[in-house]
Structure 1
Amino acid sequence: MARAGQALISNTAPNGKAYWAGRFWDRDSAERHPVLAGEFLKQKQTIAGYLDKYGRDAERSIEFACGTGEFTRLTAEHTGVRQMRALDISAQGLQIARSRVRHDNITFQQGDFWADHDFEPAELVLCIDAIHHLGNIGDVLRHIRRWVEPGGIFIGNLFTGDNFHEFERKRYGSLEHLWRTTLFFGTALAIKVSGGRLYTGSHRTQLLPTAAGEQLVRDVFDEVLEVSRDPYFTAFVARA
């Protein structure tokens, strides 16, 4: 059903804006998952290593879709950034992030990723666990690049489609995975029949094969410095 639903909507961009404005993704719970905790923790360790290696000389940082602030906290602890900005659409997520991050000069901002923001680009930009939720991945990456200063660093990751069903069954169990896939197929059918006028939060993610996602990063940024390929995630560092 997932494949059939994807075929119905083709390249229709995921639209989870309303969905995520009313909730947040609880990464803390993901890191305590009885089966997948190790995968999430390994991904966090990879990002922390990237911040150690590539974020030390940055003066300013921007994080898009910061959620509950776990990677905002890591940025504060693993880099020498003096001015931080963290943006998310969820008021709930930002409330948790504010309580989690300690930094002398940080701005938390509620807003839409696609809005015309009035802040300046930065030497370090992050978007973790969210690129695949914000729209067509290529468009999202091109939009992010606008906020990376020339020569600056972008650190991001993607949930990938290579082992989608395996990941979801481990995460939710077979029955809930089937139910979620059914909801997605129903949403895809509604999008197709209505010409895109009917939409639900069930289509809020674009999952690409690892190689396709990595190629988009290479297409958008001047240089890809590192890539970490895991069974369910791809993390990367790129230079603008």
Structure 2
Amino acid sequence: MLAETFVSAGHRLIGDHAPEGRDYWSRRFWDREEVESRPVLGDDFRAQKKKIAEYIEEHGRDAGRVLEFACGTGEFTAMAAGLTSAKEILANDISEHALKITGDRVDHPGLTLRQGDFWTLDGIEPAPLVLCVDAIHHMGQVRKVLERLKTFVEPGGTFVGNLWTIDNYHDYQRGRYGAGKHLGRSALFLANAVVMRATGGRVRWASYRTQLLRSAAVEPLLHEVFDEVVEVYTTRFFVAFVCRRAAR
């Protein structure tokens, strides 16, 4: 229970300070396939991927253009290429390495890869299908990330995404790192929170790069941001969803 105490105290100290993961993620990428291969944790990740694929096919198959933000290594970019009729797919990530893997993985004549920070991207026209999977919780305050993502959805268009939630966070971390390492990481997070609180958020470490919500809080937030919440699917570690922007 000590790790839970550390993390809970850290979140109280952090308050409204948004996660800051730009430098961290620009130098690396997350290997989802490696997590999916694990005998215990992998079940949930594979279930999420299956559901996202269903969402893309059911709600985005007729989309002529797709935008994906924080595409990582392109697993979901490849889904968009195979499951929709899109003539154009723009995939964005802050990591040059991740985009190279995406380019090697996805065979689509209309694919454009764009490196850059989600918060400073400009000149992108809204699209009928927008994706952001496994990343919203890393990109800033969740509400503000969702609000910005909505601006890229054209009127009448669809957004498909998911959020990592805190409900079973400690089970996940212990399963991935072991109890001892998870306790150490939790202590580091608390120390970071103390420093952030003392400096008004001016000093922060890479250990604070994720904002996690309770799964029960996700759907109410989606209703506040989007005009329509079409589907919500909850597993142990994630909530996946489909939302729409109202037509004009």
When normalised by structure 1's length, the TM-score is: 0.98
Question: Is residue 2:108 matched to residue 1:111?
Answer: no
Shift of 1:26: 0.9
Unaligned runs of 5+ in 1: none
Question: Is it true that 1:180 corresponds to 2:185 in the alignment?
Answer: yes
The answer for the alignment partner of 2:68 in structure 1 is: 63
Q: Which amino acid aligns with 2:15?
A: S
Q: Which amino acid aligns with 1:185?
A: L
Kindly report which structure 2 residues correspond to 1:10-89, keeping only aligned pairs within 5 A, or say none: 10-89=15-94
Alpha-carbon distance between aligned partners in 2 of 1:213 and 1:23, rounded to the nearest angstrom:
28
Find 1:156's aligned residue among 158, 161, 164.
Answer: 161
SS at match of 2:230: strand
2:11 partner letter? Q
Amino acid at match of 2:168: N
Query: RMSD of aligned C-alpha atoms?
Result: 0.8
1:116 Cα shift? 3.8
Q: Distance in 1 between matches of 2:82 and 2:184?
A: 40
Equivalent of residue 141 in structure 1, options 142, 146, 165: 146
Counterparts of 2:166 and 2:25 in 1: how far apart (Å)? 21
CA deviations over 1:72-109 (Å, ceiling 9, x no partner): 00111111111000000001111111100010101000
Identical counterparts, % of pairs: 50
Q: How many residues align?
A: 240
* Residue 223 (structure 1) aligns with: 228
Distance 1:174 1:35 in 2: 15
In structure 2, the residue matched to 1:199 is 204
Query: Where does structure 1 differ by over 6 angstroms across 4 or more consecutive aligned residues?
Result: none
CA contact (8 A) 1:221 1:238 kept: yes
Question: Counterpart in 1 of 2:3?
Answer: none
Shift in Å at residue 16 of structure 1?
0.5
Shift of 1:199: 1.0
Structure 1 CA distance, aligned partners of 2:164 and 2:132? Answer: 12
CA contact (8 A) 1:35 1:171 kept: no
Q: TM-score, normalised by structure 2?
A: 0.95
Unaligned 5+ segments in structure 2 are 1-5
